[in-house]
Structure 1
Amino acid sequence: MLLKERIEPTEPTGRAERIERTGRAWWARWAGWLAVGAWALLIAGSFAVGEVLRRNGLATEDELPPLHAESRLLTWQILPVAGIGVLLVAGLPWLVRRLSWAAVLGVGWAAGAVWAVALALTDGLGALARPLNAPTEYPAGLAAIGDDPLGWLRTFTERLGGYPTHVRGHPPLPTLVFWGLDSVGLRGTGWAAALIIAVGASAVAAIAITVRCVAGEQAARRAVPFLALAPLALWIATAMDAFFLGVGAWGVALLAVGAQRWWWPAAFGGGLLLGALPYLSYGLLPLYAVPFAVLLLIRPNRWVIAAGVCGLVVVPLLFTVAGFWWPDGVAATQDTYAISRGSAQRSYPYFLVADLAVLGLLVGPAVAYALPSLRIRTGMPVALLAAAALLGTLALDVSGVTRGEVERIWVPYAAWIVPLVALRRDPGRGWLAAQVVTALVVQALVLSEW
């Protein structure tokens, strides 16, 4: 009798728990599909409205708004890279589950580089370096430096109006990176493209390390295939923003490792790289929300924080001593932006929404599907990293500084949103394939300048 009394109350409870779990699974599945539908509608609607604006002369510069690109159609050229995509979808999750952690990082890095290069090569063998050969890009401004980089740096703000478009729109560090390659004998845009791809693809490993520090190794392993095959790979080869992504990602990763292990040299190295971000692009300042989120999650001791701060001030101090005052650079760039006939004249209301649609395109449908299954309790660390990156994009978007061309500008931010896929226990090859198909469709239909 006692046994019966103990058993009877537990049966309804167990049944209720099963019903509740089934209901949650049903809701997560259908809510995920609804989110993917909203993702697709936002992107399609942005292109439709952009076409209307273009036909009425209200979307300047752009032939395919909200992208700074033009339409085209690839047919047989897309087949080889599609085959590579099939192999990566089939093999990468299997490798990530079975290899050691160090090997997973190497495989993720290599897969990201292979996928980015394969996509770019659909436009021919010269496609990797071709974007950097444009007269608006950084290499076109190297002649002004000559053999006197310090003299060039001291007069950078004063002579800004005479430099190529991308040199005018950024701090001096990207141009100095290209000058450094030339000065050590690695001349030509081929070497520059190789550097951008290597550093940009390495962000797969760096972000995985950060996710491991804040959310555990299983979440990091689940994220690696999606990081490597995210649609943003289309702009790893070869927009300079991919280089910015890699620098920022390794800065956060080193800071996370230093914070978790109380290892101040790693925290100092992370601070050093993070301190370089505002000197690579003025638009990277809001990215500091991501390392701040890492510190909130790990809560290191004060010595680690002090080491990170010491590293953070090194690059700003060096540039200031060398004669470049960052606030003056910002002001001069804003002046050239205001008088330009380009992005400053684009429609603010349209790009306020359409820029977010481009962000959705970069992260892919798998992220949209994963969002409704987010559980604050178990997924909070990864969600906080993604929210910090999203906050940075919103700050730039609402300010109106970014009106178009965000397919490259969002790259350093979008990569931190992709790990949201890891919140699902088994994201599945189907959604990894959806990421690959998204990239293939964009590559087949869009000819980007980068």
Structure 2
Amino acid sequence: MPTAQTPARSTLKTRGDLLAVGLALLLVVAAVVVGAHFNRPGSDVVLWAKAAPLYGGWVAHYGPGSLAAVLIAGCVVFWGPPLAQRLSWGRLLAVGYVGALCWTFALAMIDGWHRGFATRLSTPHEYLHEVPGITDIPAMLAHFSDRILEGQPGQWTTHVSGHPPGATLFYVWLDRLGLSGGAWAAVVTVLVGTLVTVAIPVTLAALGRADAARACLPFVVLFPGAVWMGVSADGMFAGVTASGIALLACAGRAFEQRRRVAVPLALASGALLGFGIYLSYGLVLLGVLAIAVVLWWRSATLLAFAVLGALAVVAIVTLAGFWWLDGYHLVVERYYQGIASLRPYSYWVWGNLAALVIAAGPAVVAGVRRLRGWEPVVALAGAALVAIAAADISGLSKAEVERIWLPFTVWLLPATALLPRGSHRWWLAAQAATALMVNHLVLTIW
């Protein structure tokens, strides 16, 4: 009897997956239809997103990256799952990283070299706009908060004012290294952002789920959110903080094995995650993921050294003149000085979730449905869901979350490891189709 029930149970689970994806699709359709209704001429509701729930415009187009993106997707769909099982660990991570780079760049090139890549970070609203005027970094940090609110002398441009100084400093440092201009900024941003392709499987492997790491890696490569990883600074934020979580997981294993590298790894993880809260205020919510990793190892020593590393970064930035809490309160005030005061919470509190579904892809929806019990995949994906829920309910994420939530969304990808091995190619094809459809139908803005 047990063997006879196994196919039936498998069929039921598959039907459950498809039902979950169907419901998610209905959410997306509802968000698109209601968004179109609110965006109609003469409407009293202002969404400030012409392709709601995505931030961009409905513009069917193709470009030099179209064919390349389709070919890359095909290669990952057909060869990704078997290679993920056969390649040695080091080679797998290297191939995955290169594959994700190619996928992200090809998607960006659908919009063309200039519009899709080289000038994405050099518009008047972006960080690079302020870089030439920053000649004294200590003075910039000391007076950063004075220029956050609208109407202040020398007020920062949109993205600079909306983030702590770490994001701007990242591009100032690139400029100091001679990597000036939008093209170099885009290259480095994508290189750093794509580190999630290494960080996620490394985290899973360190937590004892090397099988899940291999299973989910092709899904990390064909992440639909790569549409916004190339090129937005939020992709870079995802790469930095994911690396911090990976180091934290590795430090926990090293402490368990009593290895000397444990303390340096823990300090480094804390420093990266500490720097993360100076990239974006909302990344403080990644503390939920960090806590999940620490709880998995049940190590007070791991927590202590990670916190020490984070506090070192906080101390340096604070002594330089920027107090995080001051910046946060001013940003909340600035947030409601602009279009956020017009965007209705009643739409975006659920429209955001539709944007999340698009960025994560149907395979993630099906994988999240399968979360059960307490194990590393559940801990990581569950913690990401908690962070996303907090960000959504806060009302400080109204629209653009397909980009803004990238550092959280990538941690839902481990859930794809729960999908039946034989179905991976179909789910990968669905992931690729989602990204290609979005990138060819919507002209994203940033």
The aligned counterpart of 2:259 is none
Q: Secondary structure at the match of 2:145?
A: coil
Superposition deviation, residue 337 in structure 1: 1.3
Matched, 1:176 2:169: yes
Query: Shift of residue 297 of structure 1?
Result: 1.4
**Equivalent residues in 2 for 1:84-163, closer than 5 Å:** 84-126=72-114, 127-146=116-135, 148-161=136-149, 162-163=155-156
1:439: how far off? 0.4
1:236 aligns with 2:209: no
Find the counterpart in structure 1 of residue 379 from structure 2: 384
Could you say which residue in structure 2 is the equivalent of 1:11? none
2:37 to 31, 45, 52: 52
Measure the CA separation in 2 of the matches of 1:373 and 1:335.
Answer: 40
How many angstroms apart in 2 are the aligned matches of 1:329 and 1:178? 19
Distance 1:64 1:372, change over 3 A: closer
The unaligned stretches of length 5 or more in structure 2 are 150-154, 256-261
2 CA distance for matches of 1:40 and 1:57? 27
**1:433 shift after superposition:** 0.9
Which residue of structure 2 lines up, in the alignment, with residue 201 of structure 1?
194
Given the alignment, which residue of 7, 15, 20 partners 1:35? 20
Q: Would you say the 8 A contact 1:142–1:175 is kept in 2?
A: yes
Q: Tell me the CA shift for residue 152 of structure 1.
A: 1.2
Q: Is the 8 A contact 1:214 1:382 kept in 2?
A: no
SS at match of 2:164: coil
Moved more, 36-45 or 303-312: 303-312
Give the equivalent residue in structure 2 for 1:305: 303
Q: Which residue of 2 aligns with 1:219?
A: 212
Bigger radius of gyration among the two: 1
> What is residue 289 of structure 1 aligned with on the other side?
288
Deviation at 1:333, TM superposition (A): 1.1
Equivalent pair of 1:50/1:59 in contact (CA under 8 Å): no
Shift in alpha-carbon separation, 1:105–1:336, aligned structure 2, 3 A: same
Q: TM-score, normalised by structure 2?
A: 0.93
* Deviation, structure 1 residue 165: 0.4
Q: Deviations over 1:325-384 (max 9, x none)?
A: 1111112112211222x122101011000101111111111122234444426xx32012
Distance 2:165 2:12 in 1: 50
Please give the per-residue CA displacement for 1:222-276, whole angstroms capped at 9, x wherever unaligned.
0100011010111111100001001110100001000012111111110110111
Return the alpha-carbon distance in structure 1 between the equivalents of residues 21 and 388 of structure 2.
21
Contact 1:267 1:307 in 2 (8 A): yes
Structure 1 vs Structure 2 CA RMSD:
1.5
Aligned pairs, number:
430
SS in 1 for 2:50: coil
- The counterpart of 1:437, out of the listed 418, 433, 438, is 433
Q: Give 1:74 shift.
A: 2.2
Offset, 1:92? 2.2
Distance 1:432 1:404 in 2: 27
Distance 2:213 2:428 in 1: 15
The secondary structure found in structure 2 opposite 1:429 is helix
Match of 1:353 in 2: 350
Mapped to 2, the partners of 1:270 and 1:316 lie a distance apart of: 14
| 8 A contact 1:64–1:71 mirrored in 2 | yes
Displacement, 1:215?
Answer: 4.2
Amino acid of the structure 2 residue aligned with 1:138: Y
Q: CA deviation at 1:61?
A: 2.0
Could you tell me which of 35, 54, 70 is aligned with 1:82? Answer: 70
> In the TM superposition, what is the alpha-carbon distance from 1:90 to its structure 2 partner?
1.9
What is the CA distance between 1:212 and its match in structure 2? 1.2
Displacement after TM superposition at 1:153 (Å)? 1.0
Q: Distance in 2 between matches of 1:431 and 1:425?
A: 10
Distance 2:195 2:171 in 1: 19
Q: Hey, what's the Cα distance between the residues in 2 that align with 1:107 and 1:344? A: 45
Look up the match of 1:278: 277
Checking the alignment, whether the CA contact within 8 Å between 1:275 and 1:312 is kept in structure 2 is yes
Amino acid at match of 1:328: D
The percent identity for this pair of structures is 37
Q: Which residue of 1 aligns with 2:398?
A: 403
1:173–1:279 Cα contact (<8 Å) kept: yes
What displacement does 1:75 show? 4.9
Partner of 2:55: 68
Give me the whole-angstrom Cα distance separating, in 2, the residues matched to 1:136 and 1:164: 5
Letter in 1 for 2:351: A
Q: Which residue pairs with 2:258 in the alignment?
A: none
Contact in 2 for aligned 1:215/1:382 (Cα 8 Å): no
> Match for residue 10 of structure 1?
none
| 1:23-44: CA deviation from partner (whole Å, max 9, x where unpaired) | 3212101111111111111111
Tell me the alpha carbon deviations over residues 53-112 of structure 1, each in whole angstroms, 9 at most, x when there is no partner.
112241332211111100111257533321221122222223222111111111111111
TM-score by length of 1: 0.92
State the 4+ residue runs in structure 1 displaced beyond 4 angstroms: none
